[in-house]
Amino acid sequence: MSDIAISIKGLYQIFGKRPKKMLSYVKDGISKADLLEKHRHVLGLKDININIPAHKISVIMGLSGSGKSTLIRHINRLIEPTSGKIDVYGEDVLSMSKGELREFRRHKVSMVFQNFGLHVHKTVAENVAYGLVVQGIPLNKAKKNSRKWLERVGLEEFENCYTSRLSGGMQQRVGLARALATDADILLMDEAFSALDPLIRTDMQDILLKLQQELQKTIVFITHDLDEALYIGDSIAILRDGEVIQQGDPQEIILKPNDDYIVDFIQDINRGRVIRIRSIMIKGETVDGPNFNHNSVLEDVLPSIVKSENHKANVTNDSGDIIGSIDLKTVASAIARPAVEKSAETSYR
Amino acid sequence: MDFFAKFPSMSRGELRDFKKSVDGSFSEFTGEYGEAIEAFFDPLLWFLVWFEQLLLATPWPIILLIVGALAWAGSRSIKIATGAILAFIAIGYFGMWKDTMSTLAIVSVATLICISIGIPLGILMARSKYAQALVTPLLDIMQTIPAFVYLIPVVMLLGIGKVPGLIAVCIYALPPIVRLTNLGIRLVSKEALEAADAFGASYRQRLFGVQIPLALPNIFAGINQTIMMALSMVVIASMIGVAGLGVPVLRSISNQYLALGLLNGLAIVALAIIFDRVTQEYGKRLQKHRHGDHL
């Protein structure tokens, strides 16, 4: 078990004139719709309990209005919660004074925004250096120190351009470089790639994964796109109407969805390309057949299993030792979608 | 029925007493504090006189050179710089050099005062909705009340002269810069501000690093408007003893001198056009980052 970087406990967010008063109604179980209709308050987040592991990518996923962007803004306290507790590396974020909070934001946590949040009156290099300038480093030195990040995202030749001259993907690379330049361990990414077109989005996901391999930051990534969540997430929490309805390993969410909403959500994904054989193998068994790395996806192993005589294969860990086995039946049943009794009302899309 | 035919107003005597008491208490206030207030404005008077003398004492070719250089520095346009020099040559040729220098002096000083009061006031309004609720009606009054009305207390308090003229010009010219500073800061995108917050910017870093730079084009439009309004007050200010192009205009109204009035009026127009074009071009250059073509 890796260390917990961010721990969120019993977090509530109620929007309206008297949120504190509404809190007791919410704790007594009033529904979001009733709260809005009877009391004119909006339930933003309800009893959120999440532990975010250090040095991993944790994805928080939900459709629009599910409260995911609100949730991520609590971690650096851009939004004050109605009630709850947020610890970052054991430090209580909510009890910080204004000055402490500024220092916390300057050094411990940085952020990437959906609409980039770049400063259009500054050049690319000045934007990337912004976090360092805010820390009190003189502009020229800050530019020099942050230049390597500009190079890492491949924009060094645009350093003196204004950001409005760049395409969306390039602007977000500036946003990413700006966030990395402060050397903060925690990176909050609020739908960072959602505004980009699909090809560029895949590019950016690859850039992020490549950087992460080397930097090992603690990343909280917000998205509404399940494919994106599955592609980059080490763990996923699914949010609906301000509540976490399932969290855990992406494999587990696909194989054991605990809610119709999630079943509905995962309907359209290509299971063969997402499910890894380690999640369905029978542990400890060795069979007569080809060997596959435990992180292989079903699609990669299926042809050889079909071709092999006994329709079986071994699963190996990264060092090549056999740790289990799979057969055609387990693979086939993993690919089959879970049955849903779906009527028009229960469809969430 | 008599009640509906005539509006029930104060009686003539009551009204007279009311007016008398207002006039009386203001006279008393003037008697008590007039000198102190005059002394308070002395440095301003000294500065205005010094600046006017400086302009008048400088040989005209040097003034022409400075005008051309400033116009070019602001607009980066040879056309505008040449136009400015030609306009000043024409002004000098038609014998209005001295009055033009006086007008330039008062407009420059008034603009400086308006900027140094107006920008901080605009920032305050953008920061607090209470300040905005308080200042907005004041600005409305300053912009719409006939200039002659506030000339009365100013003259009662400070007499006839340059300082009351300067104050009258400032009252009239201040609102646009305040309004546009406020507007400019309020229009700064939420995203740019949220990014500043997320990286831990302090209030000052937010204000000077993000809000003011992004509001600058609007603030500059405000400065432009302030200059225009200051120029248009020149004639009224000359009624209470401010030297400049307004004086001959007034003289030609009372004596029906068409040519004199026209020439001086056109000189004011020429100054206005020069100021306007130079500041507008400068304002456009400030927002060059907005006109980037996509790659």
Residue ranges covered by each domain of chain B: 44-57+97-287
| Predicted confidence (pLDDT) per residue in A24-46, tens digit | 888 888 888 888 888 899 999 99
Decide if B195 and A78 are in contact by the 8 Å CB cutoff: no
Identify the pLDDT of residue A319: 86
Domain boundaries of chain A, sorted by first residue: 52-265, 271-335
Question: The dihedral of CA B59, B64, B65, B70: what is its sign?
Answer: positive
Query: Which of B199, B216, B288 is the closest to A130 by Cβ?
Result: B199
| Predicted confidence (pLDDT) per residue in A47-103, tens digit | 999 999 999 999 999 888 888 999 999 999 999 999 999 999 989 999 999 999 999
Mean pLDDT across B223-227: 94
Decide if B294 and A165 are in contact by the 8 Å CB cutoff: yes
What element of type H or E holds B255?
A: helix B246-255
Mean pLDDT across B236-253: 90
Sheet holding A91-92, edge to edge: A42-53, A4-15, A83-88, A91-92
For the range A334-337, what are the long-range contacts, defined as Cβ-Cβ under 8 Å and sequence gap of 24 or more? A334/A255, A334/A271, A334/A275, A334/A279, A334/A280, A334/A298, A335/A271, A335/A272, A335/A275, A335/A298, A335/A302, A337/A267, A337/A271
Cβ-Cβ contacts under 8 Å, B214 against chain A? 119-121
Mean pLDDT across B266-276: 93
Cβ-Cβ contacts under 8 Å, A163 against chain B? 289, 292
Looking at every residue in chain B, the average pLDDT score rounds to 91
Average the pLDDT over each of A18-22, A135-139, B137-141 and give the range with the smallest value. A18-22
Sheet holding A57-61, edge to edge: A109-112, A186-190, A218-223, A57-61, A235-240, A243-248
In this prediction, residue A114 has a pLDDT band, given cuts at 50, 70 and 90, of: very high
The whole-angstrom distance between B112's CA and the closest CA on chain A is: 26
Percent of chain A with pLDDT strictly greater than 70: 96
The answer, for B27 touching chain A at a CB cutoff of 8 Å, is no
Nearest chain B residue to A188 by CA: give it. Answer: B198
Pairing type for strands A186-190 and A109-112 reads parallel
Sheet holding A322-327, edge to edge: A282-283, A322-327, A312-316, A291-293
pLDDT exceeds cutoff 50 at A261 = yes
| Predicted confidence (pLDDT) per residue in A123-147, tens digit | 999 999 999 999 999 999 999 999 9
Cβ atoms of A191 and A239 within 8 Å: the answer is: no
The answer, for B214 touching chain A at a CB cutoff of 8 Å, is yes
Half-sphere CA count of A180, side-chain side, radius 13 A: 22
A337 vs A214 pLDDT, higher one: A214
Query: Which of A117, A131, A182 is the closest to B191 by Cβ?
Result: A117
Q: Which residue has the tokens 């929490």?
A: A237
Mean pLDDT across A255-260: 84
Mean pLDDT across B96-114: 94
Query: Which of B197, B199, B289 is the closest to A120 by Cβ?
Result: B289
Decide if B295 and A119 are in contact by the 8 Å CB cutoff: no
Cβ atoms of A279 and A253 within 8 Å: the answer is: no
Amino acid of residue A176 = L
A289 CB neighbour count, 10 Å cutoff: 18
Cβ-Cβ contacts under 8 Å, B290 against chain A? 120, 164
Decide if B192 and A102 are in contact by the 8 Å CB cutoff: no
pLDDT exceeds cutoff 60 at A111 = yes
Question: The dihedral of CA B270, B274, B275, B281: what is its sign?
Answer: positive
Average the pLDDT over each of A323-337, B96-110, B125-139 and give the range with the smallest value. A323-337
What count of CB pairs under 8 Å joins A to B? 84
pLDDT exceeds cutoff 60 at B236 = yes
Cβ-Cβ contacts under 8 Å, A188 against chain B? 198
Residue of B73, B241, B223, B90 whose CA lies nearest to B151: B241
The whole-angstrom distance between B128's CA and the closest CA on chain A is: 19
The CATH fold of domain A271-335: CBS domain Like (3.90.1280)
User: Residue A48 forms beta bridges with which residues?
Assistant: A11
Mean pLDDT across A248-257: 87
| Predicted confidence (pLDDT) per residue in B15-58, tens digit | 999 999 999 999 899 888 888 888 899 999 999 999 999 999 99
The answer, for B212 touching chain A at a CB cutoff of 8 Å, is no
In this prediction, residue A340 has a pLDDT band, given cuts at 50, 70 and 90, of: low
> Looking at domain B44-57+97-287, which CATH architecture does it have?
Orthogonal Bundle (1.10)
Mean pLDDT across B241-260: 91
Whether the predicted model's global pTM rises above the 0.80 cut: yes
CATH number belonging to domain A52-265? 3.40.50.300
Q: Is B216 helix (H, G, I), strand (E, B) or coil?
A: helix
In this prediction, residue A223 has a pLDDT band, given cuts at 50, 70 and 90, of: very high
Decide if A105 and B199 are in contact by the 8 Å CB cutoff: yes
Cβ-Cβ contacts under 8 Å, B293 against chain A? 165
Q: In the numeric block, which tokens belong to residue B151?
A: 């000339």
Cβ-Cβ contacts under 8 Å, A101 against chain B? 200
The answer, for A167 touching chain B at a CB cutoff of 8 Å, is yes
Question: The dihedral of CA A23, A27, A31, A34: what is its sign?
Answer: negative
Q: Which of B189, B199, B288 to mutate to test the interface with A (most CBs of A within 10 A)?
A: B199
In this prediction, residue B290 has a pLDDT band, given cuts at 50, 70 and 90, of: low
The whole-angstrom distance between B196's CA and the closest CA on chain A is: 8
| Predicted confidence (pLDDT) per residue in B7-17, tens digit | 888 888 999 99
Decide if B195 and A113 are in contact by the 8 Å CB cutoff: yes
Cβ-Cβ contacts under 8 Å, B294 against chain A? 164-167
Cβ atoms of A7 and A93 within 8 Å: the answer is: no
Cβ atoms of A81 and A74 within 8 Å: the answer is: yes
pLDDT exceeds cutoff 90 at A321 = no
Identify the pLDDT of residue A337: 75
Looking at every residue in chain A, the average pLDDT score rounds to 89
Amino acid of residue A276 = R
Query: Which of A115, A134, A167 is the closest to B199 by Cβ?
Result: A134
Packed helices B129-144 and B97-127: angle between N→C axes, nearest 10 degrees: 150
